[in-house]
């Protein structure tokens, strides 16, 4: 397990002084990158061998959202690998070691020259030292789409949405989706399925579906094919 300690910053919280899913994903993403860097298979290693880890799916369950000024510990560990898939848990604990948030994530190891999945090298497998998966109820990787959506006005990908891979960062899609989440919809689980990458200048069309317990935002291309599907589940 790899962990780092932090304190929730004012710049990270919403109007209610709590982290949201976007901020939590940023903590998780930073933790996984720190883990890779310290294990010797970080950004420079990936660039040298023309590899990248792309997010395929998130499942984040919230017991309590961390609040402004709170001391937290963010942890991550890999628990399985399968050809070109990597599976990783994340956790946020408070100062009393109570679990505030737990997550499952699925990643795809890509060859950036061929633009296709690549078999994970033995050196990478050894670097991560897989541990046991967290005991939680694991949702399917794929999210089923309902038949009807309301369409919101489209917008274009900006430079601020991009990461070092020159496509929209996985957390940015969550930030985009949260703009459509009703203020009175108090979600304790978020799932995301990433189907393809948006790049600078792409137009994104939000498609929205709501029922009693779930709220879904599909961030789609101009042909209404999903880049990412985000599903929030109510308390």
pLDDT, residue 186, reads 87
Q: Cβ contacts of residue 9 below 8 Å, gap of 6+?
A: 68
Tally of domains within the chain: 2
What does the alpha-carbon distance between residue 219 and residue 204 come to, in Å, rounded to a whole number?
6
pLDDT along the chain (235 residues), means of 10: 98 95 97 97 95 96 97 98 96 98 98 94 94 96 93 96 91 95 91 96 97 94 97 90
Domain that holds residue 226: 150-234
What does the alpha-carbon distance between residue 210 and residue 187 come to, in Å, rounded to a whole number?
13
pLDDT, residue 11, reads 96
Return the ∠ at Cα 161 (arms to 55 and 43), rounded to 5°.
Answer: 50
Same domain, yes or no: 105 and 178: no
pLDDT, residue 137, reads 95
192 part of a folded domain? yes
Return the ∠ at Cα 66 (arms to 62 and 71), rounded to 5°.
Answer: 135
139 part of a folded domain? no
222 part of a folded domain? yes
pLDDT, residue 165, reads 86
202 part of a folded domain? yes
Same domain, yes or no: 24 and 120: yes
What does the alpha-carbon distance between residue 110 and residue 115 come to, in Å, rounded to a whole number?
7
SS3 state at 234: strand
What does the alpha-carbon distance between residue 222 and residue 29 come to, in Å, rounded to a whole number?
29
pLDDT, residue 195, reads 96
Same domain, yes or no: 155 and 56: no
Last residue of a domain, one of 73, 98, 128: 128
136 part of a folded domain? no
CATH of the domain at 219: 3.10.129.10
Please report, for residues 138, 141, 189, the alpha-carbon distance to residue 214 in angstroms, rounded to integers and kept in the order given: 17, 17, 10
145 part of a folded domain? no
Same domain, yes or no: 112 and 163: no
166 part of a folded domain? yes
What does the alpha-carbon distance between residue 109 and residue 36 come to, in Å, rounded to a whole number?
13
- Of the candidates 54, 63, 56, 52, the one whose C-alpha atom is nearest the C-alpha of residue 24 is 63
pLDDT, residue 144, reads 94
Same domain, yes or no: 118 and 167: no
Same domain, yes or no: 122 and 157: no
């Amino acid at each position: 397990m790899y962990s780092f300690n932090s304190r929730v910053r004012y710049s990270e919280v919403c109007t209610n002084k709590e982290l949201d899913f976007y901020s939590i994903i940023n903590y998780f993403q930073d933790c996984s990158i720190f883990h890779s860097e310290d294990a010797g298979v970080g950004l420079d290693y990936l660039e040298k061998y023309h590899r990248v880890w792309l997010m395929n799916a998130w499942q984040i369950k919230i017991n309590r959202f961390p609040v402004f000024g709170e001391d937290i510990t963010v942890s991550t560990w890999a628990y399985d690998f399968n050809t070109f898939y990597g599976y990783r848990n994340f956790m946020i604990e408070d100062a009393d070691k109570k679990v505030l948030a737990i997550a499952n994530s699925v990643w795809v190891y890509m060859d950036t020259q061929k633009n296709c999945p690549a078999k994970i090298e033995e050196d990478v497998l050894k670097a991560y030292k897989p541990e046991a998966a967290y005991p939680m109820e694991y949702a399917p990787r794929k999210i089923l789409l309902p038949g009807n959506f309301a369409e919101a006005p489209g917008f274009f990908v900006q430079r601020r949405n991009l990461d070092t891979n020159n496509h929209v960062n996985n957390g940015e899609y969550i930030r985009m989706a949260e703009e459509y989440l009703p203020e009175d919809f108090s979600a304790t689980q978020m799932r995301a399925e990433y189907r393809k990458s948006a790049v600078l200048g792409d137009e994104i069309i939000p498609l929205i579906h709501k029922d009693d317990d779930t709220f879904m935002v599909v961030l789609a291309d101009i042909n209404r094919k999903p880049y990412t599907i985000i599903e929030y589940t109510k308390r």
